[in-house]
Amino acid sequence: MSTIEDSDTAYRHDVVIIGGGAGGIAVAASLIKRRPKLDIAIIEPNTEHYYQPGWTLVGGGVFDAEQTRRSTQDVMPAAATWVRASARRIDAEAGVVELDDGRVLGLSRLVVAPGLVLDWAAIDGLEDSLGQYGVTSNYRYDLAPYTWSLVSSLAEAPAPGAGRAKALFTQPPMPIKCAGAPQKAMYLSCDYWRHHGRLDAMDVSFCNAGDALFGVPEYVPALEEYIARYGIDMATRHRLVAVDGPARRAHFVVTSAAGDTREVEMSFDMLHVVPPQRAPGFIAKAGLASEDGWLDLEPYTLQHRHHPTVFGLGDVSATPNAKTAAAVRKQAPVVAANLLASLDDKPLTAAYLGYGSCPLTVEKGRVVLAEFGYGGELQPTFPRWVNDGQRATRLAWWLKARQLPWLYWNGMLKGREWLAKPATRTPPG
């Protein structure tokens, strides 16, 4: 593996990939499996790589945070060039990417996979409160252990006269990565408090900016059973706008069904926050964004709608699928196959059907394994007699806690496309 760090010379590659997260590494590995001599450069400034789906289990006391982290060098494909920098500007027409240090990379094909931006600053006072005052989030590696610290401490007997403890779990407006994660944190916490005899002395609220518990109706009844079991208050259309950490107060804008708004204030002992999320700004500046700012891809081929030399995948995409690692696992082979077809001036025949998976950890030891594609169409991996995805099962927990991390590190990031073969499409015309 070679590295570019100090030279300001313009380099040219067959493929330049922006982002060395799950999407960038997976598609690079898939490309190399198909065409080992392809010249690939991966732009990634970070020296640590994270298995982010594991942070829910860190916050639930199941994993140690260190289990979810490896060095970027360890996961970078040996046949790729790692460019330790950030992308600053894309000129799709000229076929170049400018880096934040002024270097320029030329390319024949571009893969855009930088992930998304967690906009902590969009909530007033949040950044100053995170990691203290009971304010936490499983969306950050360094904060997931604090989630577990809060959960375990609230399970202890309170001081005399302390009253009922209050735990708030928030979800911002969609789209967000892993839309089930705000609930997963809540269910695992409630399960722990229930087993320690504390849940009946607590007030737990799910403050959701939307009005639906989950976007695919088939999975809602199983989740509602756990909402009822844990006695969770469903506060729909509650959008978190400000946090006063020292006072332990959360401020929400509540929107009625008629569209009227009002502000409410809620106290807390624990506040688990999921921040608003958006695409990196350079996507829009490059003219690659949809109206909502996300990367404007054709949903089946994952080729850019207006720039045929550009492909993309992962959380940055405007495609209407769940933003999950499972989606990336299915997207990477499609991007690899279609990009190579594009280089060879052949039709794009690989298709992504919108698959996403959300293992909803409703208690320690049981998961509702939601698997669906575009339009909410159910796309189960296993027959129902093996795993009933619409009910909580122990098999799904085993997959979530044991098999999926192994598959991520040893399969997806290595270009091994187990259970991820692309569907076939007939190009128009």
Which residues are known catalytic residues? 178, 358
Query: DSSP state, 201?
Result: G
Q: Are the C-beta atoms of residues 243 and 107 closer than 8 Å to each other?
A: no
Query: DSSP state, 260?
Result: -
Query: DSSP state, 303?
Result: B
From residue 354, alpha-carbon distances to 96, 111, 327, 329, 372 in Å are 29, 18, 7, 11, 7
- Residue 215 backbone class (left: φ over 0; alpha: ψ -120 to 50; beta: rest): alpha
From the list 350, 293, 285, 286, the residue with the least C-alpha distance to 316 is 293
> Which tokens hold the place of 233?
């208050």
> Which tokens hold the place of 75?
């996961």
DSSP-based three-state secondary structure for 244: strand
From the list 102, 83, 91, the residue with the least C-alpha distance to 24 is 83
DSSP-based three-state secondary structure for 103: coil
Neighbouring residues of 86: CB distance < 8 A, sequence distance ≥ 6: 43, 45, 99, 100
**Residue 87 half-sphere exposure toward CB, CA atoms < 13 A:** 30
Nearest-angstrom CA–CA distance, 250 and 203? 15
Nearest-angstrom CA–CA distance, 109 and 17? 9
Nearest-angstrom CA–CA distance, 384 and 380? 8
Neighbouring residues of 153: CB distance < 8 A, sequence distance ≥ 6: none
